[in-house]
A and B are shown apart, each in its own frame.
Chain A
Amino acid sequence: MELLAKESGGILIIRATQDRIDAAGAIQFKDRMRDLTQTSAARRVVLDMSNIAFLDSSGLGAVVAVLKALAPDRKLELSGLTPTVQKVFRLTRMDSIFLIHEAMPDGLRHAG
């Protein structure tokens, strides 16, 4: 589970470099996200998921847990959902909960 973080203009950008968030890695993902977000005061956290080809319900639960841990003062936004990940968010209607960017906003690329 490799997550790279970079802060830019008050936004914490975290890029997942592995290709899945699944039952085997969900807890590690959650712990690592907690560590990274706790060492920053940025109110906006953007998770770049463009490398994540697959996410199961455990992975989705972990992403939701991060959102809940940051709320109410801080926000978790998502970027670059691949087709399978998009499908899981759409079916569970979690796409209505998260602010989802199609790609990393200009100027926020190349985290880490």
Chain B
Amino acid sequence: MDASWTKLIVAGNTEAVRRALLHLLQGPPFAGLSPGLRSDAEIVLAEVLNNIVEHAYAASAGNIEIRVRRQVGGLACQIRDHGAPMPGLSLPDGAFQPLGAIADLPEGGFGWFLIRNTVEDLQYRREGGANRLSFLLPYEQSKS
């Protein structure tokens, strides 16, 4: 059964994102989830929100709007910001980077891989000067 949306507006900086995650994960609709699903939710939301801080708001300041609700099959999440659009107006493919010699190990670029590995129905659109990202965090983790 669909419930009402939990909404939160967060300033586009990493400190505010940290506080928002701590706050969000302690309340509905996250508080009642299994530890595994809460951990997936925290990983995905951290990557999504920090990507917005780092890239969309790299050259400007602004807020991030988060909406989450329980739905059939999972938690529906909608994230909106008013920063720079995704390059090419599409999401990074988040391909897995093969790990080689220690000196060549990647120190970044894990974010979209983690997001795509965990969520379903990932969609992005640019609309009215805003980035809108939506996805479903499934209750049953099919991928791993």
Contacts and interface: CB of A to CB of B under 8 A. Distances in A.
Interface of A: 20, 22-24, 54, 56-58, 60-62, 64-65, 67-68, 71-72, 83-84, 87-88, 91-94, 96-97
B50 A23 contact: yes
Contact of A24 (B18, B111, B114): B18
Contacts of B39: 83-84, 87
Given A56-B43, A71-B103, A20 B110 contact: no
A64 B105 contact: yes
B81 to A, nearest CB: 15
Contact of A23 (B43, B54, B107, B109): B54
Given A22-B46, A88-B114, A67 B14 contact: no
Given A56-B47, A83-B35, A71 B53 contact: no
B18 A57 contact: no
B50 A67 contact: no
Contacts of A88: 43, 110, 114
Interface of B: 14-15, 17-18, 21, 35-36, 39-40, 42-43, 46-47, 50, 53-54, 96, 99, 102-103, 105-111, 113-114, 117, 144
B105 A97 contact: yes
17 contacts: A22-B46, A23-B46, A23-B53, A24-B14, A56-B43, A56-B47, A56-B50, A57-B50, A57-B108, A57-B111, A88-B43, A88-B110, A91-B114, A91-B117, A92-B114, A96-B99, A97-B105
A20 B102 CA distance: 24
B35 A56 contact: no
Contact of B106 (A23, A64, A87, A96): A64
Nearest to B38: A84
Given A64-B107, A84-B42, A57 B102 contact: no
A84 B41 CA distance: 10
A41 B108 CA distance: 28
Q: Which 6 A-B pairs have the closest CB atoms?
A: A24-B14, A57-B110, A61-B107, A84-B39, A23-B50, A56-B46
Nearest to A27: B14
Nearest to B100: A97
B99 A72 contact: no
